[in-house]
Amino acid sequence: MEGHYAPQPMEWIQVYEPELSGGGTQFVPTPCQHCQNAPCLAVCPVGATFSTPEGVVLIDQDRCIGCRLCLAACPYDRRFFNWGTPPQPEQALSMHYTPEHQTPAKRGTVMKCDLCPDMARAGRLPYCAQACPNKAIYYGDLEEGLASNGATVVDIYRFLSDNSGYQLKPELGTEPRVFYIPGHGEAVGRTPETPGTKPVVWPWNPVATGSETWTR
């Protein structure tokens, strides 16, 4: 959790709760989709948004000019702008900045989920997969074909086809690298009729300097 110190009100993985056609709701945790044909990357005027050879879409906040063309371009609403001085705790301010970590946050620049490439290099799962209490998030390599949620390792393509995996807004042709397994959380005792996501808290906010937050 305390990896990126994402400034409030940024929810890099916002859990949307769309209604199901038969009633009830479903949770759709939505990180950056790390699209293969990323619209945000195409429109960036200065190349601050870039794609690594591994396929992760990152932002260089030392180059970003804050034009927000990428916020207009992203069809998943997954980009966040530092409108004011972002609230950051002491620990974040003393961290060494890289686009792979985006900490400390910089005013007037864009941020989003970075899929923790530095964690992958260290042989660890991203913070989100580590923190998910229900082990609902798998992380892996689409070329290698293996993914893990920290408890088990699955064959990605087999897992997706066995469970009718889908992507968000595939008709747009963005080719997201994030896939979803349909379901309502039955495995952990949830039914579609149990609505409501828990409110997000930013636990480091009380100790953050410049704690000036805004609404999205």
Partner 1 sequence: MDAMSKAQTDKPGSPIGEYQSAMAPGVTPEWRERFEGRVFAPLAHTSWRYWAWIGFLVVVVGWGLFAYIHQLRDGLIVTGMRDRISWGMYIMTFVFIIGISHAGTLLSAILRVFKARWQLSITRMAELITVVALMVGGLFPLIDLGRPDRLLNLFSEGRWQSPLLWDVFAVITYLCGSTIYLYLPLIPDFARCRDRLGPQSSNLRRKFFTVAAAGWQGTPKQKKALDRAMSVIMIIIIPVAVSVHTVISWIFAMTLRAPFNSTVFGAYFVAGAIFSGVAAIIILMSVLRKVLHLEEYITVTQYRALGFVLAAMAMVMIYFNLSEYVTTGYKLEAGMPFHFQDLMTGYLAPMFWFYIIGGLIVPVLIIANPWTRNTRGIITAAVLVLIAMFIERYLIVVGGFRVPLMTYSARPYAPSWAELSIFAGAVGLFSLIISVFVKVFPVVSVWEVVEHRGPEAQQESPEAVRKVPAAVPAGFFVPGHGEGGE
43-to-37, 83, 114, 151, 176 alpha-carbon distances in Å: 12, 20, 18, 39, 17
**From the centroid of its chain, how far is CA 64?**
19
12 part of the interface to partner 1, by CB under 8 A: no
Angle, alpha carbons 74-205-71 (nearest 5°): 10
Q: Which of 79, 115, 138, 140 binds partner 1 (CB under 8 A)?
A: 79
Q: Are strands 139-141 and 110-111 parallel, antiparallel or unpaired?
A: unpaired
Residue 192 in the binding site for partner 1 (CB under 8 A): no
Q: How many residues does the structure list for the chain? A: 216
Closest CA to 177 of 122, 102, 112, 115: 115
Alpha-carbon gap, residue 11 to 14, rounded angstroms:
5
Q: Least Å distance between CB 80 and partner 1?
A: 6
- Of 33, 109, 156, 160, the residue at the interface with partner 1 (CB under 8 A) is 109
Shortest spacing between CB 90 and partner 1, in angstroms: 21
Within a 10 A sphere around the Cβ of 180, how many other Cβ atoms?
17
Does 166 participate in binding partner 1 (rule CB under 8 A)? no
Q: Which of 3, 29, 66, 150 binds partner 1 (CB under 8 A)?
A: 66
Q: Is residue 81 near partner 1 by the rule CB under 8 A?
A: yes
For partner 1, the closer CB: 109 or 149: 109
* Residue among 155 and 214 whose Cβ is closer to partner 1: 214
* 85 near partner 1 (CB under 8 A): yes
Q: In degrees, to the nearest 5, what angle opens at C-alpha 10 toward C-alphas 134 and 175?
A: 70
CB of 77 to partner 1, least distance (A): 4
Choices 83-91, 124-132, 134-142, 187-195; region in contact with partner 1 by CB under 8 A: 83-91
Please count the residues of this chain forming the interface with partner 1, following the rule CB under 8 A: 46
> Omega of the bond prior to 53 within 30 degrees of 0, cis?
no
Does position 128 interact with partner 1 (CB under 8 A)? The reply is no
Q: Residues in the site for partner 1, rule: CB under 8 A?
A: 14, 16-19, 28, 30, 39, 42-48, 63-69, 71-77, 79-85, 107-110, 172, 174, 212, 214-216
